[in-house]
Amino acid sequence: MLAMALTTDTFFERIGSFGRFQIALNLFFNLCSLFWWAVPVTIMVFIASEPNWKCVNNSTCPFTDSISIRDERYNHRCNILRKDWRFEDDFTSVVTEFDLVCARSYLGFVSTSVIFAGFLVGSIAISILSDKFGRKRPLFICGFFCWLFNFVSAFAPTFWFFVLCRSIVGFMLAGYSIPMFVLAMEFSGIRHRGAAGALVWTGIAVGSQALAGCAYAIRDWRLLTIVTGAPGIILIGGWFFTPESIRWLLKKGRETEARDILSKVAKVNGKSMPEEALHLPKDESIRLGDFPDLFMSDGMIHRTLGSWLMWFAVSFIYYATAFSAPFIGGNVYINVVVAAVDGLIAYPLSAVLAVRFRRKFIIVVSFILSAAGAIGALLLSDNDDDNGYLIGKIFMSMVVARLAVSIAFTLIYIFTAEMFPTTLRNVAMGTSTAAARVSALLSAFAPLLLTVHRFLPFGIMAGLALAAAFVCLTLVETHNQPTVENLLQNEVCQPKNEKPGDKELVAKV
């Protein structure tokens, strides 16, 4: 009987690797990405942005044009009375409403960075709970509170209440997004899990484009937050048809529930349910991974630290380019749309590339192209007054660097999920995304680096991209490899100080 037992991967090959059920699940997760990610995160580009300022009193403020953060005269307003200058009336934001200027100007960037500070804490805390209590509950509980506090932030009476709401939004983002991605991967067969993991984020690009259109039409930050955030409540209804992770149920010894879900998948996909038993190593049904297991062997340490560095680099570049949209020059709404179009191209393209090519090859090439885009934007930063230079800088940063890093980000999600065993996957994903949130938090301040030196933001991006490309080359390839279930299933995960003669025993386990 044991010899006839099938692995979860084999089951999905029999009942549909990426059939109607997986497509419907992926479409729902894309709606989650749109309303529970794109809206609360991308909206900060608009509602935490700072309009240009103009002089009111020409005796103390002699300039006649509008002045942006890239202008050398930007800080002149701090040397004159507040009544002698004003913001342009293009739009309102938390910066204009709470007058976050001069000594308080950094607070506008704080209101964005706290999202990632919350995400950092949530990535660690909730990912561990998700491995203990399943994927479904944290997905919907955290998704609901992410929606709620994003909506409530529109009614913030003070700046610090707004900051509190945004930090809670960040915490909940981590709580729902990691289980969502893991579910998308775990419900797909070996041949399609890369495509499923790539396509699940398409909603972010669609949502960012729609948000740019809404922000252009609605210039009041409170109304914009309400209008774009309200529809997200309907996604709570997804609780009634979203299944729990098959692999997690088997780890908890709940084989009957797992088979019931697989039967529903087979029925929706028009396939016959196999009669064979589901198989997993017996000891793994109670042995679930914790944070120390990320350092259980030399091979696992290599994977863990390599993953953290890649996530740190890709996140900094991805978000720094996004948050630079209002400050890089040109029209902020067009810049955001261009960046979102990159996502619409990157996610489907990533799905195709993930099926056809090795993970490491795609990630390394993407990082190198991202570095080239950042270097190109850096070299074109010398003359922002020239339209040719400006268009070139926007193209190199918002198209070349942004498109390449979006592909890298998508593949790193998949690569990380495949490198670690099921029992440790959520902890590995959680800590890796925590590293990403540290850099995302820092990336919110990237526009401020322009006031130090115009080369700094893109110089840092290029350096990180090249370092991540090198590290990726040293990691194991996972393309078309079976999902690792057992903590000791692979030789790379062999515990430190294990005797050479024990390798065969580990392989048999």
Beta bridge partners of 297: 495
φ and ψ of 280, to 5 deg: -145, 150
Question: CA-to-CA distance for 296 and 489, rounded, in angstroms?
Answer: 13
The residue written with tokens 């290599």 in the block is 302
Q: Over 80: is that where the pLDDT of 191 sits? A: no
Q: Which of 189-203, 246-260, 439-453 has the highest mean pLDDT?
A: 246-260
Q: Over 60: is that where the pLDDT of 411 sits? A: yes
Higher confidence at residue 426 or residue 76? 76
pLDDT at 386: 65
381-390, 408-417, 440-449, 483-492: least confidently modelled range: 483-492
Contact 114, 160 (CB under 8 A): no
Question: CA-to-CA distance for 509 and 485, rounded, in angstroms?
Answer: 11
Beta bridge partners of 401: none
The superfamily (CATH) of domain 15-51+90-257+265-272 is MFS general substrate transporter like domains (1.20.1250.20)
Question: CA-to-CA distance for 341 and 269, rounded, in angstroms?
Answer: 32
Helix (H) or strand (E) holding 175: helix 159-186
Higher confidence at residue 329 or residue 121? 121
Q: Over 50: is that where the pLDDT of 1 sits? A: no
Q: Determine the residue type at 327.
A: F
pLDDT at 485: 60
Q: Over 70: is that where the pLDDT of 286 sits? A: no
pLDDT at 282: 54
Contact 323, 442 (CB under 8 A): no
pLDDT at 481: 67
Question: CA-to-CA distance for 482 and 504, rounded, in angstroms?
Answer: 19
pLDDT at 348: 82
Beta bridge partners of 6: 278
Instruction: Give the DSSP letter of residue 56.
Output: S
pLDDT at 500: 40
238-252, 268-282, 467-481: least confidently modelled range: 268-282
Helix (H) or strand (E) holding 106: helix 106-133
Average pLDDT, integer, range 222-236: 94
Average pLDDT, integer, range 38-45: 89
pLDDT at 492: 44
Inter-CA distances, 338 with 385, 426, 486, Å:
21, 33, 43
pLDDT at 236: 93
For residue 380, the SS3 value is coil
pLDDT at 367: 94
First to last CA, the chain: 18
DSSP for 392-446, written as a single string: HHHIIIIIIIHHHHHHHHHHHHHHHHHHS-HHHHHHHHHHHHHHHHHHHHHHTTH
Q: Over 60: is that where the pLDDT of 506 sits? A: no
Q: Determine the residue type at 280.
A: L
Average pLDDT, integer, range 429-442: 83
Contact 62, 342 (CB under 8 A): no
Instruction: Give the DSSP letter of residue 53.
Output: E
Count of alpha carbons within 13 angstroms of residue 351, beta-carbon side: 20
Question: CA-to-CA distance for 221 and 494, rounded, in angstroms?
Answer: 54
Q: Taking the C-alpha atoms of 245, 250, 255 and 260 in order, what is their torsion angle to the nearest 10 degrees?
A: 10
pLDDT at 505: 28
Q: Environment class of residue 505 by beta-carbon count within 10 Å: exposed (0-12), middle (13-18) or buried (19+)?
A: exposed
The CATH 1.20.1250.20 domain(s) of the chain lie at 15-51+90-257+265-272, 289-480
The residue written with tokens 């996502």 in the block is 343
What global pTM score does this model have?
0.76
Helix (H) or strand (E) holding 375: helix 359-379
What percent of the chain lies above the pLDDT cut of 70?
Answer: 87
Q: For 448-482, how does the pLDDT look when each residue is reduced to its tens digit (9 = 90+)? A: 776 677 778 888 889 999 999 999 999 888 776 66
Contact 337, 209 (CB under 8 A): yes
Q: Over 90: is that where the pLDDT of 98 sits? A: yes
Instruction: Give the DSSP letter of residue 278.
Output: B
Instruction: Place 420 in a pLDDT band, splitting at 50, 70 and 90.
Output: confident
Q: For 148-188, how does the pLDDT look when each residue is reduced to its tens digit (9 = 90+)? A: 999 999 999 999 999 999 999 999 987 888 788 878 888 88
Higher confidence at residue 63 or residue 133? 63
Average pLDDT, integer, range 305-333: 83
Q: Over 70: is that where the pLDDT of 484 sits? A: no
Contact 438, 229 (CB under 8 A): no
pLDDT at 144: 94
Q: Over 50: is that where the pLDDT of 497 sits? A: no
pLDDT at 418: 81
pLDDT at 287: 53
Q: Over 70: is that where the pLDDT of 91 sits? A: yes
Provide the CATH number for the domain formed by 289-480 in this structure: 1.20.1250.20
Beta strand ranges found along 264-311 (DSSP E)? none
Higher confidence at residue 405 or residue 386? 405
Mean pLDDT of the chain: 82
DSSP for 341-360, written as a single string: HHHHHHHHHHHHHHHHS-HH
pLDDT at 369: 93
Q: Over 70: is that where the pLDDT of 4 sits? A: no
pLDDT at 401: 87
pLDDT at 358: 84
The residue written with tokens 């706290």 in the block is 114
